[in-house]
Amino acid sequence: MYLIKRKEVLNPSVVLMEIEAPYIAKKVQPGQFVIYRVDEQGERVPLTVNDCDREAGTITLIFQLVGRSTLKLAALNEGDSILDVVGPLGVPTEIPEGAKRICVIGGGVGCAIAYPQAKKYFAEGLEVDVIAGFRSKDIVILEDAFKAHSTRLTVCTDDGSYGRKGFVTDALREQIEAGAKYDCVIAIGPVPMMKFVSKVTEPYGIKTIVSLNPIMIDGTGMCGGCRVTVGGKTRYACVEGPDFDGHEVDYDELMRRSGVFREREADCRMMTLAEQKRGDA
Ligand SMILES: Cc1cc2nc3c(=O)[nH]c(=O)nc-3n(C[C@H](O)[C@H](O)[C@H](O)COP(=O)(O)OP(=O)(O)OC[C@H]3O[C@@H](n4cnc5c(N)ncnc54)[C@H](O)[C@@H]3O)c2cc1C
Ligand code: FES
């Protein structure tokens, strides 16, 4: 069992949990993830490790409440335990050797997934520009954390209620056109965001890393659930990713495959909300 040491609600649909997992905390690197199950009936859910405390033996997960499994996790509190947490899984993020200036871009809860990379490369002395995008002011997360671990932070909101009005792609294009020479861009967020960031960087020949989130089941390369097409080849995101070259990903296929269970997922979400209202979940 894995003890929940701390829980914090970051915005109405995003929760942070610090979980006691000493083995994972000792080994995990930025870009890696875990797969958890709340209980015996729970499905296996991948979540990126947002941070870790190697001394205290804890890992931090930040997740959006989207369906049955994340609602069930969010219903737990400090002092509760979850059945299992497997990891660290996946390949740590790798940027080109000798990179001096990078841009880390997060969209929504993708900011939580992009944060460990900003933190690591800033600590290593690289110039790290962060562009964090949200729909509106009320859902902005991790602003202070990014401020502390970046050279320059631009917060964007789609509706202009906070920071720069517009999409992360607008801010990125502006910075490149103003002369920012990036050796690498790391973009993590909704699939369309990663697709369009990659389209912005492609004409400039800027290496672009995206973190893909296909449906994962076993997380060990056995089931094929997480297969994606990159550079015309089938790749398994759980063992060969989740990071891939943003200019080579077949985003349209990824979006099609991610939506396969949408109706079932919507039913399960409604069922879970009803159970939680009755108090029997
Ligand atoms: C490597 C990786 C890292 C991730 N890291 C984070 C993170 O740090 N924070 C975060 O909020 N989310 C993260 N996700 C997405 C997260 O796994 C899904 O939001 C979660 O599985 C939803 O489960 P659910 O039962 O609550 O929702 P459901 O209603 O079951 O699904 C909602 C949507 O979530 C996605 N999803 C569902 N099941 C899976 C699955 N087994 N594997 C992958 N995606 C699934 C699908 O797009 C689906 O349409 C990550 C996904 C991957 C693959
Ligand atoms: S999740 Fe099964 S092969 Fe990747």
Rounded CA-CA distance 111/139 in Å is 11
| Structure-token pair, residue 7 | 């829980």
Nearest CA to ligand 1 atom 24: 67
Q: What is the mean pLDDT of the chain?
A: 94
pLDDT value at 33 more than 90? yes
For residue 105, what are the β-bridge partners?
131, 187
- pLDDT attached to residue 85: 96
Nearest CA to ligand 2 atom 3: 221
- 222 CA from centroid of ligand 2 (Å): 6
Write down all domains in the chain, each with its CATH number in brackets. Answer: 2-89 (2.40.30.10), 102-206 (3.40.50.80)
Range of lowest pLDDT (20-29, 122-131, 248-257): 248-257
CB of 146 closer than 6 A to ligand 2? no
Closest ligand 1 atom to Cα of 72: 26
CB of 64 closer than 6 A to ligand 1? yes
pLDDT value at 280 more than 70? no
Contact 122, 210 (CB under 8 A): no
Residue from 47, 59, 115 to probe ligand 1 pocket by mutation (most atoms less than 8 Å from CB) = 47
Phi, psi of 59 (to 5 degrees): -120, 150
Ligand of minimum distance to the alpha carbon of 37: 1
pTM here is 0.92
Select from 94, 103, 116 the least CA-distant residue to 34. Answer: 116
Ligand of minimum distance to the alpha carbon of 239: 2
Provide long-range contacts, Cβ within 8 A and 24+ apart, for 118-121: 118/146, 118/149, 118/150, 119/30, 119/51, 119/145, 119/149, 120/30, 121/95
CB of 231 closer than 6 A to ligand 2? no
For the stretch 124-139, pLDDT in tens is 999 999 999 999 999 9
